Amino acid sequence: MPNSKITGVGMYVPEQVVTNADLSKLMDTTDEWIIERTGIKERRFFKEGVDTVSCMATKAAKIALERAGKTAPDIDLIVFATLSADYNFPGSGALLQRKLPFRQIPAFDVRAQCSGFIYALSVADQFIKTGMYKNALVVGSEVQSNVFELSDRGRNMSVIFGDGACAVVLEATDEPNKGILTTKLHTDGHFAEELYLEHPGSRRKQRFSPDMIEKGELLPYMNGKLVFMNALKYFPEVIREGLDACNLKETDIDLLIPHQANARITAAIQKEMNLPDEKVISNIHKYGNTTAASIPIGLCEAWEQGRVKDGDLIVMAAFGSGFMWGSAVIRW
Ligand code: UT7
């Protein structure tokens, strides 16, 4: 049975840098509050007409393909993780497919929010392991700056999230003990409404009504404290589950790439796993929480900085809306 390994990674973030000071002009918040509670100093906001979710993914994909020594026609499958697709339907996978000279390959979206990249990676990995496809493009891309309100009532979420994209090329390999060793995925839908955006959903006869904007019903809701507490429980649990499945220990980890939800969450996982700073990726200060793009952006920057070396054990983990969570254990 072949394994799948990442052979190219590329990222794209919008040009516009938005600092905490910029946000404090629009709402009742401060640089100190945001840094102390989240570790975020700045984030990127998309430019309308330039940075759609699929356009950003295309830019990231081009870099990933080039680094993998591949061209678009080599790709057999696109798995696109996003919670902020360009359209309600079809998914952004289809839009990415038409932007580069891909063949008429399957291209679909995965909706797993903050865990989107781990889920998408796992889906692509299964297709490669079964031998159905040889080369896959796995993408995480988000435009979130326009879903929150840059106002006092939106401040609890709007200071946290940012925009960005990243893509990886996943290839079949026969090298033993190389590539994705395992992925572990979980969901507990009892918590669906603890971090969610209800509208425009299909539950109501009328998907939109004029008063929804005024009532703030088009804004996402997050029970921050509950999400935080569950993240502290499930991140270490799912990392250990992945390591156990491969007969590996925490001391074997060369690089941990956690979903960038909050610098305090990352620090707590690091402490629990007893890992030194150089083995844990933390870049939330630059990008905020980019949801499905955060893990691959972490990988991309680490790779560009020479922190990912042949034979390294890379562990990725995510937790978020759903609740959904997961991990991937990778031998580079
Ligand atoms: O990607 C995965 C999903 N998301 C997460 O993993 C997020 C997990 N949760 C968190 O990171 C934290 O819960 C937050 C960063 C969202 C919030 O931190 P917190 O320590 O849980 O703060 P809080 O929500 O309890 O708010 C504390 C205070 C409140 O005021 P009062 O009630 O104590 O007077 C809030 O109204 O801070 C206030 N507050 C703000 N103040 C300044 C909320 N947002 C802001 C803000 N600026 N932007």
* Distance of CA 69 from the midpoint of ligand 1 (Å): 44
Q: Of the listed 230, 262, 289, 300, which one is catalytic?
A: 289
224 lines ligand 1 (CB under 6 A): yes
Q: Which residues of the chain have pLDDT under 50?
A: none
pLDDT, position 232 = 98
CATH topology of domain 180-331: Peroxisomal Thiolase; Chain A, domain 1 (3.40.47)
Domains 3-175 and 180-331 share a fold: yes
Three-class DSSP category at 14: coil
Domain limits, the chain: 3-175, 180-331
Sequence-ordered alpha helix ranges (H) in the chain? 20-24, 31-38, 53-68, 92-99, 116-129, 155-158, 211-215, 224-245, 263-273, 284-287, 294-304
Residue of the CA atom closest to atom 12 of ligand 1: 224
| DSSP assigned state of 277 | G
pLDDT, position 210 = 87
Yes or no: is domain 3-175 CATH 3.40.47.10? yes
227 lines ligand 1 (CB under 6 A): yes
The answer to whether 300 is a known catalytic residue is: no
- For residues 186 and 255, give the distance between their C-alpha atoms in angstroms, rounded to a whole number: 22
The answer to whether 166 is a known catalytic residue is: no
Sequence-ordered alpha helix ranges (H) in 39-139? 53-68, 92-99, 116-129
pLDDT, position 208 = 87
The answer to whether 114 is a known catalytic residue is: yes
CA dihedral 321, 11, 248, 187 (to 10 degrees): 20
pLDDT, position 36 = 98
262 lines ligand 1 (CB under 6 A): yes
- For residues 12 and 166, give the distance between their C-alpha atoms in angstroms, rounded to a whole number: 6
pLDDT, position 1 = 87
Q: Of the listed 114, 135, 262, 283, which one is catalytic?
A: 114
pLDDT, position 299 = 98
